[in-house]
């Protein structure tokens, strides 16, 4: 599996990954009725770096990185990861997160923050913890889950060792 910067030709494959996730509405705070054009624009906007994980010519995952805040907060990055339906359980999200941590260091970021990990997303939560993220905040009832109703969201954070700006 290769992880590389997304190219314009990847847009359709990326849409096939992100649209079902947005539609399902249980992990990302994006309008489930977002149009395909808006979803593509969101994931591939110029303020983000977009990557894809490619396995035997198939795009099996994608992630985005951006500064989490501007001004005095721009040394902390934020990422979002998605694995293609049917490709979960193969370590793709883990590989993308590790790639993103390396990339963040190389770009001079001093920390990575996830603003909104839905508390019911236990697999993601365990994965991020195993990769060094700590729960630094809990937002009570901040997410309306399509099945579970109002559930907490977690703020996760990892200070990056090594190269600094």
Binding site for a second copy (CB under 8 A): 22, 25-26, 28-32, 68-76, 110-111, 113, 115-116, 118, 136-146, 150, 153, 155, 157, 159
Are the CB atoms for 136 and 156 separated by under 8 Å?
yes
Kindly state the tokens that stand for 27: 């992990």
Q: Which is nearer to a second copy, 123 or 150 (CB)?
A: 150
CB of 113 to a second copy, least distance (A): 7
Q: Which is nearer to a second copy, 28 or 128 (CB)?
A: 28
Kindly state the tokens that stand for 135: 């729960």
**What distance in Å separates the CA atoms of residue 138 and residue 142, rounded to the nearest whole number?**
9
3-state SS assignment for residue 72: helix
**What distance in Å separates the CA atoms of residue 24 and residue 29, rounded to the nearest whole number?**
11
CB of 146 to a second copy, least distance (A): 7
Q: Which is nearer to a second copy, 46 or 89 (CB)?
A: 46
Q: What are the beta bridge partners of residue 65?
A: 49, 79
Q: Which is nearer to a second copy, 81 or 157 (CB)?
A: 157
CB of 57 to a second copy, least distance (A): 32
């Amino acid at each position: 599996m290769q992880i590389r910067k997304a190219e314009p030709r990847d847009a359709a494959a990326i849409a096939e990954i992100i649209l079902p996730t947005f539609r399902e509405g249980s992990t990302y705070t994006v309008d489930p009725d977002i149009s395909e054009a808006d979803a593509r624009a969101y994931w591939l906007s110029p303020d983000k770096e977009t990557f894809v994980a490619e396995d035997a010519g198939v795009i099996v995952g994608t992630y985005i990185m951006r500064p989490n805040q501007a001004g005095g907060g721009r040394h902390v990055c934020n990422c979002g990861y998605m694995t293609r339906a049917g490709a979960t359980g193969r370590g793709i999200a883990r590989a993308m997160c590790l790639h993103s941590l390396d990339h963040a260091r190389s770009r001079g970021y001093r920390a990575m923050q996830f603003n909104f990990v839905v508390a019911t997303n236990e697999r993601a939560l365990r994965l991020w913890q195993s990769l060094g993220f700590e729960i630094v905040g809990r937002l009570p009832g901040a997410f309306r889950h399509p099945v579970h109703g109002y559930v907490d969201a977690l703020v996760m954070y990892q200070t990056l060792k090594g190269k600094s700006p």
